[in-house]
């Protein structure tokens, strides 16, 4: 199963081109960065949702009923390839009007870490600016009646901290692309039928 829809996170950050996914039916798309070959994809899972299925409503924005403080969902991954010095996470919505929106850019996660609990706080983490120049996690919040995909992509990096905290999106995504040695992804759906 191959996807013909290969949208980059932002045209200005085309070097990163976070197209491609890991799903139950195999690898979809291909890494755009030559440093991340197909064999260097790793598995990402969550105890609260399955790849390609719905994110629980409690992880959305406060305009949705049942939200519990807009916390990040828990994530687990199988680990990066040899040479991994840290992990970064980018969360994006490829279905946003006018191009994909980036909801979270975090890096500096120690290479020995392979999971984040719900709403985790990481002392060593550095945050890049996401949509609307916000640092930190911006929860899913599609317009009323729309159903969007939210991609949680974890990057294994060969650098412990590839950008400075507060870096603009173009800078942080380019730095992640330059230092990626492996990656994994889980995608959750949000909106549409879920009550507001």
Cα–Cα distance list, 13 to 8, 56, 76, 157 (Å): 8, 30, 27, 18
Task: Give the mean model confidence (pLDDT) for residues 38-67.
Answer: 85
- DSSP H or E run through 170: helix 169-179
Would you call 177 helix, strand, or coil by DSSP?
helix
Task: Give the mean model confidence (pLDDT) for residues 142-156.
Answer: 94
Q: Are 18 and 90 in contact (CB under 8 A)?
A: yes
pLDDT at 100: 86
Query: If we measure between CA atoms, which residue out of 141, 146, 178, 181 comes closest to residue 162?
Result: 178
Residue that has been written with the tokens 């040479």 in this structure: 83
Task: Give the mean model confidence (pLDDT) for residues 122-135.
Answer: 89
Residue that has been written with the tokens 């929860």 in this structure: 139
194 pLDDT band, cuts 50/70/90, is low
pLDDT digits (tens, 9 = 90+) for 76-100: 999 899 999 999 999 999 999 988 8
Q: Which has the higher per-residue pLDDT, 27 or 120?
A: 120
Cα–Cα distance list, 112 to 86, 87, 116 (Å): 8, 9, 12
Q: Alpha-carbon distance 143 to 123, whole Å?
A: 33
Q: Are 105 and 90 in contact (CB under 8 A)?
A: yes
Task: Give the mean model confidence (pLDDT) for residues 151-164.
Answer: 96
* pTM flag (> 0.75): yes
DSSP symbol at 108 = E
pLDDT at 120: 82
Share of the chain above pLDDT 70, in %: 76
Q: Alpha-carbon distance 61 to 74, whole Å?
A: 17
Q: Which structure tokens are listed for 45? A: 């899972």
Residue 26 backbone dihedrals phi, psi, to 5 degrees = 110, -170
Q: Alpha-carbon distance 11 to 121, whole Å?
A: 30
Would you call 13 helix, strand, or coil by DSSP?
helix
Q: Are 180 and 33 in contact (CB under 8 A)?
A: yes
Q: Please return the burial class of 184, using the count of CB atoms within 10 Å of its CB with bins 0-12, 13-18 and 19+.
A: buried
């Amino acid at each position: 199963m191959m996807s013909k829809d290969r949208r980059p996170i932002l045209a200005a950050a085309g070097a990163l081109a976070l197209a491609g996914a890991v799903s139950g039916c195999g690898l979809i798309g291909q890494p755009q960065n030559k440093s991340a070959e197909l064999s260097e994809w790793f598995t990402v899972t969550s105890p609260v949702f399955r790849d390609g299925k719905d994110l629980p409503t409690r992880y959305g924005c406060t305009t949705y009923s049942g939200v519990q403080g807009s916390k990040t969902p828990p994530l687990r991954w199988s680990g990066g390839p040899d040479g991994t010095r840290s992990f970064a996470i980018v969360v994006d919505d490829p279905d946003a009007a006018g191009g994909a929106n980036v909801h979270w850019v975090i890096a500096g996660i120690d290479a020995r870490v392979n999971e984040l609990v719900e709403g985790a706080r990481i002392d060593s983490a550095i945050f890049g600016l996401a949509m609307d120049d916000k640092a930190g996690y911006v929860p899913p919040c599609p317009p009323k009646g729309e159903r969007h995909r939210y991609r949680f992509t974890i990057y294994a990096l060969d650098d412990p901290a590839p950008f400075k905290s507060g870096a603009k999106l173009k800078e942080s995504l380019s730095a992640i692309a330059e230092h990626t040695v492996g990656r994994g992804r889980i995608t959750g759906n949000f909106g549409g039928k879920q009550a507001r």
